[in-house]
């Protein structure tokens, strides 16, 4: 979830994702349990190295499809 939101916030690499997480840690704690805090950029990279690329591709495809639907318009416009 951290990486997903960091990418939406224009984070382009693992270090930027860690920085994004630290800058928004208090907000993230509203939605995530972070017993060990924000992971380091090395940890983020290691986790993504073990996630199958097919899963990430499918996730990206489904996200893009959702954004291009009526549901995506609701998200973009901040409406329910």
Which residue segment(s) compose the domain that 19 sits in? Answer: 2-77
pLDDT of residue 73: 67
pLDDT digits (tens, 9 = 90+) for 63-79: 888 878 877 666 666 65
**pLDDT given at position 64:** 84
- Name the packing angle between helices 53-67 and 70-77 (round to 10°): 80
Q: Are 53 and 44 in contact (CB under 8 A)?
A: no
Q: Tell whether the model's pLDDT for residue 80 goes beyond 80.
A: no
pLDDT digits (tens, 9 = 90+) for 2-45: 888 888 889 999 999 999 999 999 888 888 888 898 999 999 99
Q: Look at the chain and report how many structural domains it folds into.
A: 1
Residue 46's pLDDT band, with cuts at 50, 70 and 90, is very high
Q: What is the full DSSP assignment across 22-70?
A: HHTHHHHTTTS--TT-SPPHHHHHHHHHHS-HHHHHHHHHHHHHHHTSH
């Amino acid at each position: 979830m951290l990486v997903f939101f960091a990418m939406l916030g224009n984070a382009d690499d693992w270090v930027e994702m860690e920085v994004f997480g630290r800058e928004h840690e208090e907000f993230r704690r509203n939605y995530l349990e972070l017993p060990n805090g924000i992971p380091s950029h090395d940890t983020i990279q290691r986790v993504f190295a073990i996630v199958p690329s097919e899963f990430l591709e499918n996730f990206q495809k489904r996200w893009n499809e959702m954004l291009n639907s009526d549901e995506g318009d609701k998200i973009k416009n901040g409406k329910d």
